[in-house]
Structure 1
C-alpha cells in the first residue's frame, strides 16, 4: 500500500511538472499542447451545449440541428484549412489551425446557446423549433 502511494505521488509529480505554463509557453511544442487543451475544452463545451439544445427542441428541430451541425463542422474545418494556408509549411501550422478551430467552435457554442434562450414568438434567429 505504501509503495503504491509513493509510486502514484511520483507519477503525479512528474506529470504535473511536465505540464507547460500556458501563460508563457517557451517552445512550439508547449504552445501546441496549450492550444490543444484549450481547443479540447471548447469542443467539450460545444458538445454539452449541442446535447442540451437537442434535448430541449422538437423532434423535427433536433433532426435539422443534427444536419446543420454536421454541415457546420465541415465548413469550420474547410474554413480553418483556408485561413491557415499561410503557415502550411511551418512548425506553427498546427497551432494556427487549432486556434482557428477553437475560435469558430466558441462562436458556434454561443450561437447554439442563444437558441436555448429564445423568447416565445421570436422567429428571427431562433429556428422556430
Structure 2
C-alpha cells in the first residue's frame, strides 16, 4: 500500500510504539495511530478474505475470481487514495488524508467480503460476524 508505505518509511519503529494514541495531538502522532489502525484493519480484512476463500475451496473458479477481485480492489484503492494524497500533497495532513481514505476503504471492503461471500440469502447465521463499517 503506497500511502501507508510512504508514511511508515518516515517513522522509526521505536517511535510508533511510543505514541499514546488516545492522547495523540500532532499530525505525526495521529498519523502513527492511523497507520496502526490501518494495519489492524488489514489483518481483519485478510481474515475475512481467507474465510471466504476457504468456504469456496472446492471450486477453483470461484477462488480465482475472489482473488482477482481482491487484486483489482487493491489497485483501485491505491489509485483512489493516491488521488486524495495528491489533493493534499502540499500540506502536512497529506499522509493522514491518504491513510484515512485507505482505512475507510478497507473497512468497506471487509464488509463487502463478508456480505458477498460469508452470508446466506436466508436468515442463516453468517460464517463470521458482520464487521463494523464505522
Alignment TM-score, normalising by the size of structure 1 = 0.74
Secondary structure of residue in 1 paired with 2:23: coil
Q: CA deviation at 1:26?
A: 1.9
Structure 2: runs of 5 or more not aligned? 1-13, 123-134
CA RMSD of aligned residues (A): 1.6
With 111-120 and 68-77 compared, the bigger mean Cα shift is at 111-120
Q: CA deviation at 1:108?
A: 0.4
Quote the Cα distance in structure 2 between the aligned partners of 1:27 and 1:84. Answer: 18
How many residues end up aligned between the 2 structures? 104
Deviation above 6 Å: which 4+ runs of structure 1? none
Q: Is the radius of gyration larger for structure 1 or structure 2?
A: 1
Q: CA deviation at 1:110?
A: 0.2
- 1:116 and 2:115 are equivalent in the alignment: no
Quote the Cα distance in structure 1 between the aligned partners of 2:90 and 2:45. Answer: 30
* Residues 1-129 of structure 1: pairs in structure 2 closer than 5 A: 19-57=18-56, 58-114=59-115, 115-119=117-121
Structure 1: runs of 5 or more not aligned? 1-14, 121-129
Deviations 1:105-129 (A, max 9, x none): 1100000011211227xxxxxxxxx
Quote the Cα distance in structure 2 between the aligned partners of 1:32 and 1:105. Answer: 17
Task: Report the counterpart of residue 123 of structure 1 in structure 2.
Answer: none
Q: CA deviation at 1:86?
A: 2.2
Deviations 1:14-72 (A, max 9, x none): x7xx6323233121211111000000001000111101100101221100011111011
Secondary structure of residue in 2 paired with 1:84: helix
